Amino acid sequence: MKNFISVHDAHDINALVHKALAYKADPLRDKALGANKRIGLIFLNPSMRTRLSTQIAAANLGMEAIVFNVGQEGWTFEFEDEAIMSGNTVEHVKDAAPILGRYFDVLGIRTFPSLQNKADDYSELYIKQFIKYAGVPVVSLESATLHPLQSLTDIITITETFKEHRRPKIVLTWAPHVKALPQCVANSFAQWINAWGHADFVITHPEDYELDPAFTKGAAITHDQDYALRDADFVYVKNWSTYADYGRIYCNDPEWMLTTEKLLNTNHAKVMHCLPVRRNVELSDEVLDSFNSIVTQQASNRTWAAQAVLSELLANVKK
Amino acid sequence: MKNFISVHDAHDINALVHKALAYKADPLRDKALGANKRIGLIFLNPSMRTRLSTQIAAANLGMEAIVFNVGQEGWTFEFEDEAIMSGNTVEHVKDAAPILGRYFDVLGIRTFPSLQNKADDYSELYIKQFIKYAGVPVVSLESATLHPLQSLTDIITITETFKEHRRPKIVLTWAPHVKALPQCVANSFAQWINAWGHADFVITHPEDYELDPAFTKGAAITHDQDYALRDADFVYVKNWSTYADYGRIYCNDPEWMLTTEKLLNTNHAKVMHCLPVRRNVELSDEVLDSFNSIVTQQASNRTWAAQAVLSELLANVKK
Amino acid sequence: MKNFISVHDAHDINALVHKALAYKADPLRDKALGANKRIGLIFLNPSMRTRLSTQIAAANLGMEAIVFNVGQEGWTFEFEDEAIMSGNTVEHVKDAAPILGRYFDVLGIRTFPSLQNKADDYSELYIKQFIKYAGVPVVSLESATLHPLQSLTDIITITETFKEHRRPKIVLTWAPHVKALPQCVANSFAQWINAWGHADFVITHPEDYELDPAFTKGAAITHDQDYALRDADFVYVKNWSTYADYGRIYCNDPEWMLTTEKLLNTNHAKVMHCLPVRRNVELSDEVLDSFNSIVTQQASNRTWAAQAVLSELLANVKK
């Protein structure tokens, strides 16, 4: 694995899942793998689970992790080629990335979309510029349009939870929120579940909330949440802002909040969410505090997903 | 020790003090105790001494410490049960704490009071919610009403300083300040000295600055600072805002600042302060720069207090 | 080496350079030197390269490095003696530094100038107060007027790049910028190159941008950039604000930006910059992206400079 920014970097999803589960069973089994190797965790945006789980994953592999919060500890980067830097950006990624690539053996980058300009965000300029100039493996800690460590975690969690000899029915359902959020988690979940191919996959959302077909292709898509939820084994709840007319909130209809009543319709579905979750806005207390919810298990699996990915990337690190 | 949030978690104060002094004599004596264990140091408010000393204490025990500044690096937590999270809080402690409890073997939490609502602050909702939901031992890095690591440090410092075969006279004196400060350090010092029971303990402050009797019960209380200071062996200087009419500054009388002249009245008293201290407001330069001041020794003992507490908590960590 | 705040702390610059290059060849050659030693990296101002390279240098020596961002994680320090602290400063360096000196074996301090008051900045009050009160070796991570780790890096980079048996011609040229910047890097580079004595050294800048002669004495100084660049082997590009009429921007003349055309005049000069650099303001893309630019090599040498200095300071650390 050269970098890890989308499902295309995972040559065998199930092998990666099983590697992660092996780390869950024995976190220190590869304690020597990362000896004298360093990962720089570069945050252009805030993070809790991703940062902590990746730090812990690195430590489990014997790597040193150094966190750098660009906004608080440093200054604003420039990403546009040929920019005349007379404004507020202080350092060009062309200059910063090669140096970070000298200091670190692996780089993790978190960078959110602006939600102002679809073409810019969907070009993934920021993380691609890091990859272009760093010269070391780059792992996405969530980028403008995707969150692959989250999606790998999600499949790990589904795999360890679902033990029947049939394809699970997995539903990704839009949920209300008070802010315009990126499409990353939804895009990435769709991309991974489609690529995985071991599930019946349905996406449901209000009209006008269609995601980029590049990620959803292969899933059944419906605006009828009740219909979608029928017999579901897993319900993944997530808000996202509009994709077509980019970055807007049209419908913030509380009717879309997942409730216990709606779950009656499912096959005792397990409820997933990447967190943080707005309680009683996206998901009711009742659902989150029920046995249906596996959000804590899901979030704790972030460590093993990161550890599996880092162990793959380490194989590509120069001595 | 299951958690460490007040004196009630210290079954034998003197044993804890002597454990701390043993670490001071030989910091690395238990270097293997925390191997492959992690502590998450979660700061909802700023910290210097507490953060650094706890990080060092953990390292001395071979534990990995990871600092997370919630405000700068993450987002605002919600603590109220059943909140409809359509406002500014991004994640409920019910969701964050269990995950932190999966990532870490021990959690340290710093959370200041609002000083707006006494009932809320004195319920210690924030740290209690962490304890309720984290599922791992929690150590207070200062909470809304108490600062037990500071108070343990204070008794360590008194113990190593006072070598006479009698009870020392210890005075806690209110000092002027420019801001409304929490009552934590004063409450906690009173609680610990009272529970310790090896001193004659006097608290002195202006009228209207009475502390919660739940903590001060057992101490002599007077509004006459001169009288209180007479023959004192230790003078602990600290500002706090009002408790009864909550969180106010009534009296900011410079007369209450401790000076060298006032110390003449004492038994060559040692002067203590938890720091940070406003020089020439709370305490004169003359006092702080004199041989009477033991504030640096006191602050440096923070490491050993934290190390003693962490070593006790580690005994309760699941394998 | 007792502290490292200027060239005067380097008794033998070439020995230090060769020590750094030995670390570059074998980073872990002194892995045991810093065992059970801790460095506190205290940032009163932001940093990327200095922070990361020093953290890595410490780790290479087996030391533990703890970063503390005073502004974000703590509170504002007071540096004036006898201050009545009724304003915005929360803790006096007289109280903070001795405690940091108890917690850490070595302290690194970054503190920028105000650019408001020349006498204050040039007295180097802040870092000198840390040295006075900390009681442990202090390394400058850039102070009000100097940046010695950068200058050592610069000489390391020149040494490993220039292999001819003659003195290189080194030109320090002022460059345009959009903000008033400190004189630190320029002062320090001049101080080190002059003390080193192995180069023909020319400084060129617009009228009114004269640096403090205390640092430049020994260099040829001219306002004619073209004349200065003639036959240069190294061109160090840097903006600084005025020194005489302190902290101003008089001339922001784009004509001073270094371009490929100007380099034709040189002896295939290598181009250096401490970074961050404002592209197409200080230096053209064309120059920075050319083979002439050695800025990445230069920045990556920061690690080895820091490692050489820390190894010298460790010799002075009390057991």
pLDDT, tens only, A178-195: 999 999 999 999 999 999
Which chain A residue's Cα is nearest to B81?
Answer: A285
From first to last of its 319 residues, chain C has per-residue pLDDT tens of: 999 999 999 999 999 999 999 999 999 999 999 999 999 999 999 999 999 999 999 999 999 999 999 977 777 899 999 999 998 899 999 999 999 999 999 999 999 999 999 999 999 999 999 999 999 999 999 999 999 999 999 999 999 999 999 999 999 999 999 999 999 999 999 999 999 999 999 999 999 999 999 999 999 999 999 999 999 999 999 999 999 999 999 987 889 999 999 999 999 999 999 999 999 999 999 999 999 999 999 999 999 999 999 999 998 887 6
- Whether residues B94 and A52 touch (CB distance < 8 A) is answered with no
Contact status, residue A65 vs residue A41, Cβ threshold 8 Å = yes
- Whether B261 has a pLDDT exceeding 70, the answer reads yes
C137 shares a domain with C21? yes
Task: Give chain B positions within 8 Å (CB) of A46.
Answer: 73-75
C168 shares a domain with C222? yes
The proportion of chain B whose per-residue pLDDT surpasses 70, expressed as a percent, equals 100
pLDDT digits (tens, 9 = 90+) for A75-126: 789 999 999 999 989 999 999 999 999 999 999 999 999 999 999 999 999 9
Average pLDDT over residues A277-282: 95
- Whether residues C74 and B47 touch (CB distance < 8 A) is answered with yes
Which chain A residue's Cα is nearest to B133?
Answer: A296
- Position C319 in a domain: no
- Position B288 in a domain: yes
A306 shares a domain with A290? no
> How close is the nearest chain A Cα to the Cα of B224, in Å?
47
**CATH code where residue B125 lies:** 3.40.50.1370
Q: What ipTM goes with this model?
A: 0.95
Task: Tell whether A53 is within 8 A of chain B (Cβ).
Answer: yes
Please check if C166 is assigned to a binding site.
no
B230 shares a domain with B99? no
- Whether residues A103 and C56 touch (CB distance < 8 A) is answered with yes
Please check if A142 is assigned to a binding site.
yes
A160 shares a domain with A75? no
Please report the beta strands in chain A, taking only residues with DSSP state E, as ranges in sequence order: 38-43, 64-69, 77-78, 91-92, 106-110, 138-140, 169-174, 200-204, 220-222, 234-238, 270-272
Residue-level pLDDT at A63: 97
C155 shares a domain with C261? yes
- Position A134 in a domain: yes
- Whether residues A95 and C59 touch (CB distance < 8 A) is answered with no
A180 shares a domain with A255? yes
B197 shares a domain with B100? no
- Position C77 in a domain: yes
Query: d(Cα B140, Cα C207) in Å, to the nearest integer?
Result: 59
A64-69 and A77-78 strand pairing: unpaired
B191 shares a domain with B91? no
Between B43, B46, B295, which is nearest C95 by CB? B295
- Position C221 in a domain: yes
- Position C2 in a domain: no
Please check if A147 is assigned to a binding site.
yes
Task: Tell whether C213 is within 8 A of chain A (Cβ).
Answer: no
- Whether A319 has a pLDDT exceeding 70, the answer reads no
Q: Residue B77: what residue type?
A: F
The mean-pLDDT minimum among B214-218, B313-317, C152-156 falls in: B313-317
Residue-level pLDDT at A74: 76
A187 shares a domain with A238? yes
Task: Tell whether C85 is within 8 A of chain B (Cβ).
Answer: yes
Task: Tell whether C40 is within 8 A of chain B (Cβ).
Answer: yes
Sorting pLDDT into bands at 50, 70 and 90, what band is A273?
A: very high
Between A66, A73, A102, which is nearest C46 by CB? A73
Query: d(Cα B180, Cα B251) in Å, to the nearest integer?
Result: 11
Q: How far is CA A63 from CA A60, A168, A307, A310, A315, in A?
A: 7, 37, 11, 10, 13
List of residues 6+ apart from B294 with CB closer than 8 A: B157, B161, B270, B271, B272
> How close is the nearest chain B Cα to the Cα of A305, in Å?
13
> In chain C, count of helices (H) and strands (E)?
14, 11
B175 shares a domain with B131? no
Which residues form the domain of C28? 7-146+300-314
3-state helix, strand, coil in chain C (%, to 5): 40, 15, 45
- Whether residues B48 and C94 touch (CB distance < 8 A) is answered with no
Task: Give chain C positions within 8 Å (CB) of A85.
Answer: 278-281
The mean-pLDDT minimum among A201-210, B1-10, B229-238, C77-86 falls in: C77-86
**Binding-site residues from annotation of B for carbamoyl phosphate:** 47-50, 75, 110, 147-150, 274-275, 302
Between C47, C59, C278, which is nearest A86 by CB? C278
A118 shares a domain with A153? no
Task: Give chain A positions within 8 Å (CB) of C69.
Answer: 72-73
Q: Residue B283: what residue type?
A: L
- Position A21 in a domain: yes
What does R_g of chain B's alpha carbons equal in angstroms?
Answer: 19
Q: How many domains does chain A contain in total?
A: 2
- Position C200 in a domain: yes
Which chain A residue's Cα is nearest to C52?
Answer: A103
Task: Give chain C positions within 8 Å (CB) of A66.
Answer: 52, 55-56
Task: Tell whether B26 is within 8 A of chain C (Cβ).
Answer: no
Which chain B residue's Cα is nearest to A274?
Answer: B95
CB–CB contacts below 8 A, B to C: 78
